[in-house]
Structure 1
Amino acid sequence: MPPHPPEDGIPLNTTAVAIDKDKNSQHAVRWAIDHLVINNPLIILIHVRHKAYQNHQDAGDSENGETDAQQLFVPYRGYCARKGVQLKEVVLDEPDIPKALVDYVHKNCVNNFVVGASTRSALARKFKGPDVPTSVIKIAPEFCSVYVISKGKIISARAALRPVANTAMPPKQPSPLGVQPIALPESSSEQENGAKGQPAKEGWKCAGSDRMLNERNGGKPAKALTRERPKTSPSNISIENVEVSNRGPRSSFSRDSISDDNLLNAQMPFGSLDVNAQNLDFSTTSNLSTDSASSQSTRELEAEMKRLKLELKQTMDMYSSACKEAISAKNKARELSQWKQDEARKFEEVRLAEEAALAMAEMEKAKCKAAIEAAEAAQKLAEREAQRRKQAEIKAKREAEEKKRALCALAQNDVRYRKYTIEEIEESTERFSEKLKVGEGGYGPVYVGKLDHTDVAIKVLRPGAAQGRKQFQQEVEVLCSIRHPNMVLLLGACPEYGCLVYEYMQNGSLEDRLFRRGNTPPLSWRRRFKISAEIATALLFLHQAKPDPLVHRDLKPANILLDRNFVSKISDVGLARLVPPSVVDQVTQYHLTSAAGTFCYIDPEYQQTGKLTTKSDIYSFGIMLLQIITAKPPMGLAHHVQRAIEKERFDEMLDPTIPDCPLEEAISFAKLALNCAELRKRDRPDLGTVIVPELNRLRDLGRSSDKRESRSLLLRSSASSSNSRPQSSNEDSTV
């Protein structure tokens, strides 16, 4: 038996989904919209309320059941609205769930039916009902494809075996909404159903159509129109008089065009065809005569009805095709719009990325430019430094050549000192006897002897000492070009064998006297202040030498000699350097390739950088002043003295052999020495304006104190007996 036509204006090729409160119902709806609702955006959601379940509820719960059923569709409404899909909600009250679903599918010609894998399964087991998906697959009509969905995937399916038929048989029962059957002539019924192979069926007519027919037919009663034979020829009825309702986006009959849901449940043969609100009726009279003229007219009317139905079907098909094309065009437009938005977003991203890349490129370009400029500046600076160094090397080489020529000339013919032969030297030293050896220098021993009936000190260069030969030449040149009462006097030399002849200093070196080697008496504090002032005066003389200042570079107590009257003289100037005059102003520095001097006395900044200035001698002089006042080794002496002054325990650092030393003057002397021994050159005081005046003040203080002491001794001696001798408090009190 062919299926009934769809109810409520549902078009062909429709999709229905059975839903319940489980999650698989949501997956089923989503899958159906994504895969089945394409050309016809309409979906039917069916919910079956099990009557057996309702019987277990009381009367008050029935209303809640209605509300729950309506609330069940709420989530799907919003989802379908977002997807642009029309939604039809159906609630069925049946005890047999699979049969209710299949009856609805058969009744409404549903092409695709989707059911969740667990829909009503638990409820069905509770009331011992059948499994819904399995039962639906078994009993579904052949024109319907059934899909069982679980978690968004197909777990079971059955394809349709044939398409939905375009014709349908009218129902046997009358419509509950006032549609009355109309008796048709026997001949017309047999002719109509002969081709279909079905028995004759009753016609249908809307109960409310009498008044409308009365108005359209000149005020004649509707009953008369239905009973009498129509006066118009069948040819006067055309498809133009049939108006198709289109109140939705689909080619379907809407609920507004049909007054009752069950009006289209049956096929309407020959009777009135109510398509829209105009209620165009095509009626046949149930009381036609049985004569041959009536039969002929009935057959013509039936033929005309068939023709009109065919035209209506063609019109509906055309309208359905147009709607499908419109939907397809709308989908394409939506896709194009989405594609346009995606392209615009991609273009904006590309533009922003391009702008960021350009900004990054500009930054890198600026950095590269700055790096190039810095490299160029560094290269120019390096070139200037290389040029300056090259010029300094050329100048140093020229000076070395000039010095070499001067030394050669001095060695060949120098009248500034007396030349002794090696025989004279050997005779005066008894062939360099060990008993006449009085000291050992850095480049050879020192002997005492007599030349020209004068006591002399002879320094002999050790054989094979190339550096000693250079020092020998430097010392000859310096001592021959300068004269000062506090500089050791060069009497002569033997250039061939590297022997220097000095005046003999009876009291030896300052180092020997400070540490009392040979059990010599200690130096008084007055004599120590005097020696310090004399050394400072001689050192200032070297720094102010013309045309070039001289830097001693090896100032220490061992290189300070004392004559018979304890007059101090600077010796061993072999390491002295002639520096440019600009060094004196402490702006330009004379750079040497290697530092020279004695450990603990050498300037640390000169030792680190190799840059020599007159302030380099100030550091050595400061360490020597600390030794003069304390008679202690130079290692860490400045640190210990500084700590003692800070803790007000400087008296513990004084030489214990001079207990009468004035503490206040000694502290002033020590602070001056510490200033001279500063690590940085710029922190050291000036020799001519600060150091020499302060040492002269201390020397004068010692002289005045010595005079007062001598006067006191004279007064005491005059009061004593004439045989007594005045005793000095210190045998070295005479300055």
Structure 2
Amino acid sequence: MEESGIIEARGLLGLPPPPSLTVAISINGNRKSKYVVRWALEKFIPEGKIMFKLLHIRPKITTVPTPMGNSIPISHVRDDVVAAYREEVEWKATEKLLPYKKMCAQKKVQVEILQIESDDVVYAISREVAKSTFNNLVIGASSRGMFSRGQTLSSKISECIPKFCTVYAVSEGNLSSLRPSDSETNGSIKDDSSETSFSTNDSSNNSSSQAESTDCGSVASYAHFRSPSLPMQQFEALSTINQTFFHKKTNSCETIHSRLSSLDIGEQEDGISSSHSNSDIGHPRSRLSCCKSLVTDNQSWLSDQASTSDGPSDFSSESQINVNFELEKLRVELRHFQGMYTNAQRETVDTSRKVNDLQKCRLEEASKLKEINLKEVEAKELAIQEKVKYEAAKKEVDYVKDCAEREAAQKKAAEIMALHEASEKEKLENALVGPLQQYRKFEWEDIVSATSSFSDNLRIGMGAYGAVYKCSLHHTTAAVKVLHSKEAHRKKQFQQELEILSSIRHPHLLILLGACPDHGCLVYEYMDNGSLEDRLLRKNNTPPIPWFERFRIAWEIASAIVFLHNSRPKSIIHRDLKPANILLDHNLVSKIGDVGLSKMLQSDSSALSTMCKVTRPLGTLCYIDPEYQRSGLISPKSDVYAFGIMILQLLTAKPAIALVHGVEMAVDDGRLPDMLDPEAGQWPIEETKELAVLGLKCAELCGRDRPDLKDQVLPVLERLKEFADRARDMAPHANHPLRITSYAQ
């Protein structure tokens, strides 16, 4: 506003308008910097085309921080690290200055950021101003305490900046101090000389001196208006009064009149400048007329005092002091009123701008609220439509569900009818044809000849039941088991095994090729890889079984046991499941043998839960069900217990004694990999742990705590078998060169 007054004063004096300005603004990025930039925007935007230079002084980089919080001198750091750190510092500084650049961009002015690296802020700013020849510099006024001593940073900058640049110090959005350039200082000097020449020249030169004082007075009033601050102005006025009191005791009346005239002219020019700078308010003339009337009243009072006295020479020194004091007091009050008026004008403009912004925000919020209400109505309509669709879809689903239930019931009834018809047909065929003999009878002479009279060289196993020999019958390699005792219970086991194996078939039950009932001989298919016990315990240096084959073997054994438990017309409980009774062919396919100790239970709807009491427990220690051992009650859960022990042996290849406790402790402590058989390869931890937990559940002491073999155990083993098959397909095929058969029963 003050600059616009000078531009109009230049136009009145016939001077050309000033060129486009380049204003430098020194900011450090703190919260006070926004006030400095905002003040500069309000100050210089009306000037015309403006170019803003934002100066930011940052310290020189001498050290590089470390992640530990220390700092390393850059001389001890690689150049690429220093360059990267320098780029990071520059980027952070640029991000810090972006809000101020956006403030300038919102006002549609050109802006440029200059980052200067220096430890001396005063020198860096002074050098940049001198190099770029900035005519205007805006800085933040340093806060100063009541008891602080020495110069502030802003005063140091004002002293060191070249004289051709005008320095504005801004505090909290208001001009705090100003250091004018040489051109403004020269204008104020001319004003003082005009006052002296006016008082000494004769009346013939009054018109020219008044014109000169008018020109210089406008610049002088401009300098007064942009004086540092109101307290400093009061201090200067008091200093002037003191100097007048002690050093100017003999002033003439002409000097008083000349000062009054110069004051009148100066105040007139102040009024012109003020009216131009505050033209947007609309009534600055009233303030100017008040100030001029105040000075005119003072001048008339002085004239009355002069006329009542005998002459100019009769003024006493005391009256001169009073006049000077009143004069300086009026000047101070005038400046104070001007400052108050400027602040009021600025606050009015700020308030008007805030009111406009609030009005604009209110309109925007009202528009957004209207949009939200429309969207809410649309959402409610959409919700109603979706609810209708949901109800229709629910009705359709209920209808489809009812249809599916009816179809399922019809299908189940048809299956029951088909099963009933098949059963009736089978009964009819059995009644017409009679029972079929499903085993072949061998002659005793053929068996003796095939075994070379039961030579020890052909014997491949020996057990409590009898000896097992390898032979060739009718061009078929077979294994012959010979009963070596004629005891009654041995004959009963022979007859039971012959009856069971001749009446049932399963891929994982040992195939009975024939028998010689008169001499207690059973002829089986020959299994190349012997028993599972021999392969797990590595007898005769046999190669180990890979882990994926063990997963499959566990599933095969479980499927065969489920088949026995669900056989018709009677359920079969094996009662002697153990690795020695599991035989392996040349492809490591497992088959259950030695069913001589099996127990047949009545086949009805509760066959799997039926128990039978026997006189004494039979089987192998460590595989016998504890409940069966204690109470003599046999049930399908007895085979589940023995199967759980075999699962743990498949994983660990350890004897069955105390194996359950050892595996349970290993699982609880997270040491299961230490218990696994290392010869089986790289075990999959998650799947192996699942299989171990399943084995522990099957080996529970209480029968009711063991899982159901068909519904709970077999699905898990089938899933693990499929996982093992995929692993086997990806792994190289293992060779099994050693094939030793053992049928020790």
Asked if Structure 1 and Structure 2 have the same fold, meaning a TM-score greater than 0.5 normalized by the shorter chain, the answer is no
The normalised TM-score by structure 2 is 0.40
Structure of higher CA gyration radius: 1
The answer to which structure has the higher helix fraction is: 2
